[in-house]
Amino acid sequence: MTDLLRRALPLYGLPPDMPLTLLNRSENETWRAGPLILRLHRQGYHSKPEIASELAWLSALQDLPGLNTVRPIPGAQGPVTQIDDRFIVAFAPIAGQELQPGDDLARWFGPLGAITARLHLQSRQWTPPPGFTRKCWDVDSILGPNPHWGDWRQAPGLDATGKDLLTRATDTLAARLRAYGTGPETFGLIHADLRLANLMVHGTTLTAIDFDDCGFGWWVYDLAAALSFIETDPRLPDLIAAWVTGYSRIAALPDSDRAMIPALIFLRRVLLTAWLATRADSDTGRALGGPAYTLGTLTLADRFLTDELADFRP
C-alpha cells in the first residue's frame, strides 16, 4: 500500500519519499505522512460521492463554538484523491491521545454528551449540498438480510443455542426499533462511531475524529456507539448518566429517546459482533474479536430479553 500512497503524496504538496507510518488498520488504514494524516479507504465500502459527503459535513462543522472535530485537507484533485481504484483523504493531525478504557471515562462522558448535542443541533439545521449521500443505519441495514457490517450469525463461537437466543433477542429489538420510528424527531445525520478510539484528549479538550461511518441513524445511537466494546463494563450506568447530563445542558433529550438507550446499546453490540466476524484482519478484530466477545453479546441478549437492560436506563 505504501507505493499507492507515495503516488498520492505529491497531490498534497509532499515529496514521494516522505516517511510513512501506519497508525491503525481497522475499516480503513490510517497513515502519518509528515504534516498530514492520510486515510486509505477500504476497497468497495464507500463510494467517492459518499466520501465527499462525509468531508462536506466535516467542513461545515469547522470552527463551531464548543465543537472540536478533525479538519479535512484537500489535495490537487479536491477533497477526495483517487489513485487507480482506491480513495485517499487527508486530515490535519490532532494533538493528544485516544481515550482509553482505563481512563477516568466518567470525567469525559459529560463533555462527550455536550459535543454530541452540538453535532445534532448542527445536523438538524444544516442543509446538505446537492448529491449528498451517506449510509443509513436502521433496522434493515444492521439486522436485515444485507447488513452493512456483516451478519452476526457468522460470529465466532456461536452455537445453535446461542443463535436461537440472539434470534429471539434481535427479533424483539427490531420490533422495538420499528415502533420507535425514523422520523426527524428521532433520526438524522449522526457521527455513528463516537467510540473511545475516535475521541482525542489533549489537556481539557476532547476532539471527535473519524467521521467515516457518519450517516443517518437514531440520535441516541451516538451514545450507544460511544460505549462500543465496553458494554459489559460495570461503569456503564454512570457513563450513560454523565453523557445524558452533558447532552441535556446543550439540547433537549426527550423521555422517549432516553427510554430507547438500552435497546440501542444492544443494537450496537450486535452490530459490532457482526463486524468483528468479518474484520478479523483489523487491529480491533485481533484485540477484541473471537468467542469471548460473542459470549458477552449472548449475556447482553439474555439480559435484554429478561428486563431490557434496565440498569442502562438513565
> pTM higher than 0.85, yes or no?
yes
pLDDT for residue 285: 64
Question: Is 160's pLDDT higher than 70?
Answer: yes
pLDDT for residue 218: 99
State the Cα–Cα distance between residues 308 and 231, nearest whole angstrom: 14
181 vs 26, which has greater pLDDT? 181
CATH number at residue 153: 3.90.1200.10
pLDDT for residue 300: 98
End residue of a domain, out of 94, 127, 154: 94
State the Cα–Cα distance between residues 152 and 136, nearest whole angstrom: 18
State the Cα–Cα distance between residues 30 and 22, nearest whole angstrom: 6
Residues 6+ apart with CB under 8 A from 133: 47, 49, 50, 53
Q: What are the Cα distances from residue 106, in Å, to 59, 93, 110, 224, 241?
A: 30, 26, 7, 15, 9
pLDDT for residue 173: 98
Q: Based on the structure, what is the number of domains in the chain?
A: 2
**186 occurs within a structural domain:** yes
pLDDT tens, residue by residue, 273-293: 999 887 766 666 667 768 889
Say yes or no: 132 and 252 in one domain. yes
End residue of a domain, out of 94, 113, 142: 94
Say yes or no: 209 and 63 in one domain. no
| Mean pLDDT confidence for 67-85 | 97
Structural domain including 203 reads: 98-312
| Mean pLDDT confidence for 124-145 | 97
Say yes or no: 126 and 234 in one domain. yes
End residue of a domain, out of 38, 73, 94: 94
Question: Is 2's pLDDT higher than 90?
Answer: no
State the Cα–Cα distance between residues 17 and 32, nearest whole angstrom: 13
pLDDT for residue 212: 97
**42 occurs within a structural domain:** yes
pLDDT tens, residue by residue, 228-275: 999 999 999 999 999 999 999 999 999 999 999 999 999 999 999 999
Q: How confident is the model at residue 88 (pLDDT cuts 50, 70, 90)?
A: very high
pLDDT for residue 282: 63
Question: Is 310's pLDDT higher than 80?
Answer: yes
In the numeric block, the cell 460505549 is attached to: 227
pLDDT for residue 263: 98
| Ramachandran region, residue 210 (left: φ > 0; alpha: ψ -120 to 50; beta: rest) | left
Question: Is 196's pLDDT higher than 90?
Answer: yes
State the Cα–Cα distance between residues 191 and 181, nearest whole angstrom: 19
pLDDT for residue 27: 80
Say yes or no: 30 and 129 in one domain. no
Mean pLDDT of the chain: 95
CATH number at residue 69: 3.30.200.20
**200 occurs within a structural domain:** yes
pLDDT tens, residue by residue, 203-228: 999 999 999 999 999 999 999 999 99
